[in-house]
């Protein structure tokens, strides 16, 4: 029984990291209406920025969040303005090609600058763990999970009760109607992309204490984020958070009781089976529904 609880706790903590990454992606999709295949590369940039701050001035990754998040916000705004906005009215296939091209460019830039080396940081907290009645809880993963819960709660309040949040929701609901109400849709799109990128940068900073960073790490997390977002219901914030927890649990249990080599394959198989039954995802409100999750 203790082993089962240990695996469940590990899965929930891992799922919190996935949720933090995926909430940024679902925010971008829900408002900007673009599937960003370069989302994992934003995570990679956030991890490298946090690594460089630690290696150069010894800044703790948890404190580097206050620098990494604004930097990723700025990068997100620039990407949206220069790359995404010109193709906003283009076909969905064109948007896929552009974001895939961005993914290739960012990944190869990282390879040019950092080579293919795996880079890690040495901190006392990296291997720290808390023990509760025989159950070990990784402290870095616990902090990442707590950050995910706090950030999700803050984002929920922002979207629900502030003017900016209402503007984001209005654009996600109906772009033409939002324009008629005087909302500057292009600015809202830049804000949404910037926020999504900032959230992804925060996830990268919290991953660094227990994960190596290398130029192709974004590809892995892009796939995970898409599985989480689709399972949760496209554009659904609450669904993305719960979907992240589900994938974390599936990966933890399959890696422990089936095979570590098959843990990714396991959640992809479950992902396909779920979509065959519920094409809108586990928490989607209807077939084809695309909402921000705050209705």
What share of the chain in percent tops pLDDT 90?
A: 32
Query: Over the stretch 146-196, which tens digit does the pLDDT of each residue have?
Result: 988 898 889 889 988 899 989 998 888 888 888 888 888 889 999 999 999
Domains of the chain: total: 1
Mean pLDDT on 217-235:
84
Give φ, ψ of 13 to 5 degrees: -65, -40
Q: Does residue 182 lie within any of the structural domains?
A: yes
Q: What is the pLDDT of residue 225?
A: 87
Q: Does residue 45 lie within any of the structural domains?
A: yes
Q: Does residue 285 lie within any of the structural domains?
A: no
Q: Does residue 231 lie within any of the structural domains?
A: yes
Query: Over the stretch 99-125, which tens digit does the pLDDT of each residue have?
Result: 999 999 999 999 999 988 899 888 878
Q: Does residue 58 lie within any of the structural domains?
A: yes
- pLDDT-wise least confident of 66-70, 91-95, 251-255, 282-286: 282-286
Q: Does residue 127 lie within any of the structural domains?
A: no
Q: Does residue 291 lie within any of the structural domains?
A: no
User: How many residues does this entry show for the chain?
Assistant: 295
Tell me which residue range forms the domain holding 155: 2-114+136-277
Q: What is the pLDDT of residue 180?
A: 83
pTM (2 decimals)?
0.88
Q: Does residue 284 lie within any of the structural domains?
A: no
């Amino acid at each position: 029984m203790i082993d089962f609880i240990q695996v469940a706790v590990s899965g929930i903590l891992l799922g919190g990291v996935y949720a933090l990454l995926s909430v940024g992606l679902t925010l971008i999709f829900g408002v900007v209406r673009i599937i960003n295949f370069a989302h994992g590369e934003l995570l990679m940039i956030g991890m490298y920025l946090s690594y460089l701050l630690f290696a150069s001035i010894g800044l703790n990754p948890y404190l580097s969040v206050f620098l990494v998040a604004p930097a990723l916000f700025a990068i997100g705004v620039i990407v949206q303005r220069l790359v995404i906005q010109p193709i906003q009215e283009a076909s969905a296939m064109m948007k896929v090609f552009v974001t895939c091209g961005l993914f290739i460019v960012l990944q190869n830039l990282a390879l040019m600058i950092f080579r293919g080396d795996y880079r890690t940081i040495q901190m006392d907290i990296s291997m720290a763990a808390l023990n509760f009645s025989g159950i070990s809880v990784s402290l870095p993963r616990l902090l990442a999970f707590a950050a995910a819960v706090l950030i999700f709660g803050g984002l929920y309040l922002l979207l629900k009760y502030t003017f900016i949040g209402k503007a984001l929701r209005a654009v996600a609901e109906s772009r033409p109607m939002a324009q008629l109400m005087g909302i500057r849709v292009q600015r809202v799109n830049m804000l949404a992309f910037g926020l999504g990128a900032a959230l992804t940068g925060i996830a990268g900073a919290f991953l660094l204490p227990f994960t190596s960073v290398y130029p192709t790490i974004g590809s892995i997390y892009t796939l995970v984020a898409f599985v989480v977002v689709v399972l949760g219901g496209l554009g659904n914030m609450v669904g993305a958070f719960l979907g992240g927890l589900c994938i974390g649990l599936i990966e933890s249990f399959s890696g422990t009781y089936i095979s570590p080599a098959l843990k990714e394959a396991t959640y992809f198989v479950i992902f396909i089976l779920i979509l065959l039954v519920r094409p809108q995802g586990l928490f989607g409100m209807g077939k084809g529904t695309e909402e921000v999750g705050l209705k």
